[in-house]
């Protein structure tokens, strides 16, 4: 008796929540056994393609969502995509800073073979307007003069610390 090579097509059920490098075992679907023994097992190693919008870390999904500067300043609601193809409503509080993260509970990846879902983390990216008219630029300059330092606590605190650092270096 010899071995005969043949090609077969198999259907494999991939459970929700698998990660990069997950190994799936198909019992008795491997090569024929030595000297008429039972066939071995076939192992499939999964490789996950990166997504255009989402990044994954375990069961947590990350997504960067652009918001307008007006929404960042005054607050508002934005719709964000979810991994299931749906949308979730996210309330943006007034004064939201660029890079702030929001958690959407149970909107992440499922934990393999359980009904438990991870979270989705939304990082807002405040968009700075481009291609402004002269009139729009003038309004923004005027608004900037109105604001002064008391409305930008992070930058005024940062530049105060930089000044202290420079003063210490010259002493």
pLDDT 10s digits, 140-164: 999 888 877 666 766 666 767 777 7
CATH of span 51-131 = 2.60.260.20
Encoding tokens for residue 141? 């300059």
pLDDT in tens, 70-101: 999 999 999 999 998 899 999 999 999 999 99
For the chain, give every residue range classified as CATH 2.60.260.20. 51-131
Q: How far apart are CA 144 and CA 69, in angstroms?
A: 14
Name 91's bridge partners.
77
Share of the chain above pLDDT 90, in %: 61
Q: How far apart are CA 59 and CA 37, in angstroms?
A: 41
DSSP element (H, E) containing 166: helix 153-170
Q: Binning pLDDT at 50, 70 and 90, where does residue 170 land? A: confident
Strands (E), 93-132: 101-104, 120-127
Share of the chain above pLDDT 70, in %: 91
Q: What is the pTM of this model?
A: 0.76
Q: Binning pLDDT at 50, 70 and 90, where does residue 166 land? A: confident
Q: How far apart are CA 140 and CA 160, in angstroms?
A: 24
């Amino acid at each position: 008796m010899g071995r005969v090579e043949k090609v077969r097509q198999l259907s494999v059920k991939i459970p929700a929540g698998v990660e990069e490098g997950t190994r799936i075992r198909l019992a008795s679907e491997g090569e024929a056994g030595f000297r008429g023994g039972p066939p071995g097992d076939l192992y499939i190693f999964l490789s996950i393609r990166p997504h255009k919008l989402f990044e994954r870390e375990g069961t947590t999904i990350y997504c960067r969502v652009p918001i307008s500067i007006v929404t960042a300043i005054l607050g508002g609601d934005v719709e964000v995509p979810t991994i299931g193809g749906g949308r979730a409503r996210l309330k943006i509080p007034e004064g939201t800073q660029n890079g702030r993260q929001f958690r959407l509970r149970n909107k992440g990846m499922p934990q393999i073979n359980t009904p438990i879902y991870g979270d989705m983390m939304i990082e807002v990216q405040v968009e700075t307007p481009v291609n402004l008219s002269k009139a729009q630029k003038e309004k923004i300059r005027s608004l900037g003069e109105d604001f002064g330092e008391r409305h930008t606590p992070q930058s005024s605190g940062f530049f105060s610390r930089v000044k202290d650092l420079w003063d210490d270096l010259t002493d």
